[in-house]
């Protein structure tokens, strides 16, 4: 039996975040990218919370994060409003 190590879990999460960021960047309806951070997250994570352009969105999970359960920051798209 192979134990599911925390490192593997974090690596999988990093992969998912990278993929979601790539998808948001590819989507023309996405104007900006917001980084959402839970209120109980560590100071390093708190620092990256905010709204970014597609070009400046930071890589997640945050480097140097000390959240007990690993970084829980995630991307949220800010869509352009399209009126028919
Ligand atoms: Zn953190």
Contact 10, 73 (CB under 8 A): no
Q: pLDDT digits over 3-55, tens only? A: 667 788 888 999 999 999 999 999 999 999 999 999 999 999 999 999 999 99
Q: What is the pLDDT, as a whole number, of residue 57?
A: 97
Average pLDDT over residues 52-62: 95
Distance (Å, rounded) from C-alpha 25 to C-alpha 54?
Answer: 6
Q: How many CA atoms lie within 13 A of 61 on its CB side?
A: 20
Ligand 1 centroid to Cα of residue 25, in Å, is 24
Ligand 1 centroid to Cα of residue 33, in Å, is 19
Ligand 1 centroid to Cα of residue 41, in Å, is 5
Ligand 1 centroid to Cα of residue 77, in Å, is 21
Domain extents for the chain?
A: 6-79
């Amino acid at each position: 039996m192979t134990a599911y190590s925390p490192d593997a879990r974090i690596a999988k999460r990093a992969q998912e975040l990278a993929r979601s960021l790539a998808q948001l960047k590819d989507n023309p309806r996405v104007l900006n990218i917001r980084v959402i951070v839970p209120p109980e997250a560590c100071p390093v994570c708190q620092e990256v919370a905010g709204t970014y352009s597609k070009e400046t969105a930071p890589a997640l999970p945050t480097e140097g994060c000390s959240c007990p359960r690993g970084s829980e920051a995630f991307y949220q798209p800010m869509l352009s409003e399209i009126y028919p």
